Chain A
């Protein structure tokens, strides 16, 4: 009976592995630790391996100065830095500061637009990872109606 149980366990493990396969093929793994982190620096460390970023004026972060509705804050991030690997957005005062991370293959223009949620008035940081380093720029956004991030 003991042996039977082992076999079953093994079969179960194999099945679980098979079930996980299509997702593994789809793309890289969702960086759970970084996204569940409740502190901006910690999130960056989990995502990029360091919380040290070099301030850069080659990154443009377009955000409204005042966001009337924190549930829909338009954001555009662009950079003239070369060989960009990823662009990430961190909202310092959100309960979970890391908002999104865009991994780019060569050929993608390092310029993306989206909409994010902001819980309250906060610094917003754009972090750009290139093959030479990790760069950032920040901007403060005043939120009049919090967007329950």
Chain B
């Protein structure tokens, strides 16, 4: 699932604004494949973690009811230019991805 994470950050003084978008189907397990009529198995991100310089800032726990290609926007204090923000996720089928970005 490499390349699934898109992130934009903006630093003003010590506050970092984080806008993140994860490309993920977020299948509920209740949807039928229109071609085969078979149920598409439940497939969703369970945890999305934001860590700044190795320290977790926010942990988002998801059910299947977060929309396809989830986006999360938030801000946190205590950031500075040069900090490394790491975004990582895992899903219920063992999939995962991560991305690091340097705050500036």
Report A's interface with B, CB cutoff 8 A.
Answer: 23, 26-28, 30-31, 35, 71-73, 91, 94-96, 98-105, 107-109, 111-118, 147-149
Number of A-B contacts (CB under 8 A): 107
29 example contacts (A-B, Cβ-Cβ < 8 A) are as follows A23-B90, A26-B49, A27-B56, A28-B59, A30-B46, A30-B61, A35-B61, A71-B67, A99-B62, A100-B60, A101-B60, A102-B60, A104-B57, A105-B57, A105-B76, A107-B57, A107-B77, A108-B76, A109-B75, A112-B73, A114-B66, A114-B67, A115-B67, A115-B71, A116-B66, A117-B65, A117-B66, A149-B28, A149-B65
Q: How far, in angstroms, from A117 to B76 measured CA to CA in the complex?
A: 26
Report B's interface with A, CB cutoff 8 A.
Answer: 15, 28, 30-31, 46-47, 49, 55-68, 70-78, 88, 90
Q: How far, in angstroms, from A30 to B47 measured CA to CA in the complex?
A: 7
- Which residues of A have CB within 8 Å of B64? 96, 117, 149
Identity of the chain A residue whose Cβ is nearest the Cβ of B31 in the assembled complex: A148
- Which residues of A have CB within 8 Å of B49? 26-27
Q: How far, in angstroms, from A127 to B96 measured CA to CA in the complex?
A: 28
In the complex, which of the residues B31, B71, B74 contacts A109, with contact meaning CB atoms closer than 8 Å? B74
